[in-house]
Amino acid sequence: MCGVIAKYAPGGSVSPQDLTAAIKALNHRGPDANGHWISPNGEAGLAHARLSIIGLNNGAQPIASADGQIQIVVNGELYDFERIREELKRRGHRFSTESDSEIALHLYREYGVECLQHLRGEFAIIIWDEKAKRLFAARDRFGIKPLVYAHYNGQLFLASEAKALFAMGLPAAWDDESFFQASNMQYTLPNRTLFARVRQLEPGKYLLAHDNNVHTFTYWDLNYSRSEPVLKLSEKEMIEGCRHQLKEAVRLRMRADIPVCAHLSGGLDSSAVVALAMQVTNNPVQCFSVSFEEESYDERALAAEMARKAGADFHPVKVSQSDLIERLSDAVYYSEGLAVNGHLTAKYILNREIARNGYKVALTGEGSDEVLAGYAHLRSDLFKTDGREHLLADLHASNKASQGIMLMHGQSLALKAVEEKLGYVPGFLEAKGSLGHKMCGLLTDDFTTRFKTYDAYERFLSSFDVEGQLSKRNHVYQSLYLWTKSALANYILKTLGDGMEMANSVEGRLPFLDHYFFEYIRDLPLSMKINGTTEKYILKEALKPFITKTIYERQKHPFVAPPVSVFATESAKQLLNDSLRSQNFARVPFFDQKKVVSLLENLPKLSEGERAALDPVFMMIVSASCIQDRFKL
């Protein structure tokens, strides 16, 4: 796990200073070593900040082919690499390192861009092909590893994070359209960022650049079926298959030349990962868990019970309400995104503690809800379409932590474009519409006037292949597709995941997003995922012997911190007040500061539910202020 950097300047010259400045900006991603390479004519350069995990003594990057014609830098892990390396050796390939990354170079030499079909893992890859005078870059199937780029003044910049692009000379500025998009629905468009000119390479895509031509292509997509599968396996066989596939994904992710630890909450997903990890290792897995002050949000007891059952070692990490605000600026700077809850800061503190205990690799449970349809809003979509609307009231009542973020709370923006394109409105987009209504009410009149004809939800849906990937699918799969391409890729993986892990030089590994496991589960009946009112049914049954009774019976509870708008300590309240009344916040070009302060002053008059629903709004506003300050926009 590392930081990757590239600059391509056709007809120009890439300087060592550009690359070393970018490496410095990404030092947190790879503090163990760094290196760079510049092509003979100076038109292309690659750089790498290394976090040493596999091939500790000889895995430095960039890595060159034997004839020097191909150079590569890789961020991530390529699993099952030893088997692939042996196959390549039998075909005459010679390896110069013991790193898993090097297989990508040799696979590219053999298959060209089709090499991606042979890679299993989480990765962002950049290759310079000297013979073809071509730059090739790719991002893993789900977007676990980030890769951003900018085409500016005839030059192409690429890196793991935008701050490295700025270090190479790209001007740092807000992308006003992206901020308006995020104000309407939390997320930017899938290929955009909050920064002007900075694009994201989307999950499952690759980029080719030659001269001044830059194009992106899809190599993998979710491909949900238009019809329910014909049953070929019994329920018992499907459950056993789930356990086998997930155990293999965990086993592969335990491979490292250094110790591997795990995140553990009181939920099913991380518990399943820890339980299976204990079956493929001889030593107790070290488990780290966030512990909040507010009892109703604290899962310490549940996680400790699970660790005891699995035979793992348990390390609680205390996070106070004051911590959630005090450390937010650092969390936002490294994630380069907007927070909607204090869980962003909590993940930053959790990974900081993991690093302080000497670990660089952590297994996590992210991705399970996307693969196995675990979220409450997906059950909401199902109940609305299969005649079980009478269950919706209980669903909302029992999922209060999801209110305002994943389930609708209050008035919404118009979602006509969604209704017209899909024939219904996914529950999570209703929730984003209600969040957007609250956010947009705090923007300046001048800013909203500039975008009076802009429909954020129409733009969002136009980003996808509606006919090829969405139409004629079950509503649950339509929702899952849109959520996976937006909430999962742009927030859960990039902001909450990689951003908070790599801020502390920790590599997150996600067994549930192994694409072999995903494709196995994808092709099973929906009833194996949502069975009656039970979410993630097949996973619960597959792991029942290995998890606690409490976790087996517990309903999905998303990882959220106690809302600052409800549970803030006096010191946290003061920090929030100071931030939103500050001159720095006044410089954020989107908000009407008087409206924001008025809402803040009115908070004590609102019910607890109303205050909780406003928490994402305040977190996004403060996050924007942090970005304004830390990036000097």
Instruction: Give tens-digit pLDDT for 419-448.
Output: 999 999 999 999 999 999 999 999 999 999
The answer to whether residues 41 and 109 belong to one domain is yes
Q: What is the pLDDT of residue 405?
A: 58
pTM: 0.95
Determine the Cα–Cα distance for residues 475 and 472; give it in Å rounded to an integer: 9
At 114, is the secondary structure helix, strand, or coil? helix
Residue 379: other Cβ atoms inside 10 A? 25
The answer to whether residues 245 and 144 belong to one domain is no
Q: What is the pLDDT of residues 379-415, one digit of tens each?
A: 989 888 888 877 776 766 656 555 555 565 678 899 9
Q: Which of 553, 585, 601 is the last residue of a domain?
A: 553
Q: Looking at residues 483-506, what average pLDDT do you find?
A: 97
Determine the Cα–Cα distance for residues 478 and 622; give it in Å rounded to an integer: 32
Q: Looking at residues 553-563, what average pLDDT do you find?
A: 89
Determine contact, residues 268/554, Cβ cutoff 8 Å. Answer: yes
Closest CA to 306 of 272, 331, 259, 335: 272
Confidence of residue 32 (pLDDT cuts 50, 70, 90): very high
- Whether 584 maps to a domain, the answer reads no
**DSSP for residue 407:** B
The answer to whether residues 345 and 268 belong to one domain is yes
Task: State phi, psi for 77 to the nearest 5 degrees.
Answer: -130, 135
Q: What is the pLDDT of residue 408?
A: 56
Contacts of 105 (CB under 8 A, 6+ apart): 63, 65, 70, 72, 127
Determine the Cα–Cα distance for residues 335 and 630; give it in Å rounded to an integer: 12
By CB atoms closer than 10 A (0-12, 13-18, 19+), residue 91 is exposed
Say which residue, 396 or 153, is predicted with more confidence.
153
The answer to whether residues 208 and 281 belong to one domain is no
H/E stretch holding 542 reads helix 537-543
At 77, is the secondary structure helix, strand, or coil? strand
Q: What is the pLDDT of residue 575?
A: 83
At 238, is the secondary structure helix, strand, or coil? helix
Residue 11: other Cβ atoms inside 10 A? 11
**Which CATH number covers residue 135?**
3.60.20.10
Closest CA to 51 of 310, 322, 305, 361: 361
**DSSP for 244-306, written as a single string:** HHHHHHHHHHT--SS-EEEE--SSHHHHHHHHHHTTS-SSPPEEEEEEESSGGG--HHHHHHH
Q: What is the pLDDT of residue 42?
A: 95
The answer to whether residues 8 and 126 belong to one domain is yes
Q: What percent of the chain has pLDDT over 90?
A: 86
The answer to whether residues 240 and 342 belong to one domain is yes
The answer to whether residues 161 and 242 belong to one domain is no
Which residues span the domain enclosing 74?
2-172+193-218
- Whether 318 maps to a domain, the answer reads yes
Q: Looking at residues 53-68, what average pLDDT do you find?
A: 93
- Whether 316 maps to a domain, the answer reads yes
Determine contact, residues 272/547, Cβ cutoff 8 Å. Answer: yes
Closest CA to 613 of 410, 442, 408, 404: 404
- Whether 507 maps to a domain, the answer reads yes
Q: What is the pLDDT of residues 229-259, one digit of tens each?
A: 887 899 999 999 999 999 999 999 999 999 9
- Whether 459 maps to a domain, the answer reads no
Confidence of residue 214 (pLDDT cuts 50, 70, 90): very high
The answer to whether residues 86 and 168 belong to one domain is yes
The answer to whether residues 245 and 331 belong to one domain is yes
- Whether 380 maps to a domain, the answer reads no
Confidence of residue 89 (pLDDT cuts 50, 70, 90): very high
Confidence of residue 1 (pLDDT cuts 50, 70, 90): low
By CB atoms closer than 10 A (0-12, 13-18, 19+), residue 95 is middle
H/E stretch holding 446 reads helix 445-450
**Total structural domains within the chain:** 2
**DSSP for 335-393, written as a single string:** HTS--SSTHHHHHHHHHHHHHHTT--EEE--TTHHHHHT-SHHHHHHHHHHTT-GGGHH
Query: Residue 57: pLDDT above 60?
Result: yes
- Whether 250 maps to a domain, the answer reads yes
Confidence of residue 574 (pLDDT cuts 50, 70, 90): confident
The answer to whether residues 209 and 247 belong to one domain is no
Determine contact, residues 106/86, Cβ cutoff 8 Å. Answer: no
Confidence of residue 268 (pLDDT cuts 50, 70, 90): very high
Q: What is the pLDDT of residue 567?
A: 83
The answer to whether residues 100 and 160 belong to one domain is yes
Average pLDDT, the chain: 94
Q: Which of 508, 524, 553 is the last residue of a domain?
A: 553
Determine the Cα–Cα distance for residues 75 and 46; give it in Å rounded to an integer: 13
Q: Looking at residues 550-570, what average pLDDT do you find?
A: 88
Determine the Cα–Cα distance for residues 426 and 428; give it in Å rounded to an integer: 6
Q: Which of 527, 553, 579 is the last residue of a domain?
A: 553
**Which CATH number covers residue 296?**
3.40.50.620
Determine the Cα–Cα distance for residues 579 and 621; give it in Å rounded to an integer: 10
Positive/negative CA dihedral, 191, 192, 193, 199: positive
Q: What is the pLDDT of residue 572?
A: 79
At 532, is the secondary structure helix, strand, or coil? coil
Q: What is the pLDDT of residue 387?
A: 80
Q: Looking at residues 136-164, what average pLDDT do you find?
A: 97
Give Cα 319 to chain centroid, integer Å: 22
The answer to whether residues 514 and 545 belong to one domain is yes
Q: Which of 101-110, 156-165, 212-221, 556-565 has the lowest mean pLDDT?
A: 556-565
- Whether 618 maps to a domain, the answer reads no
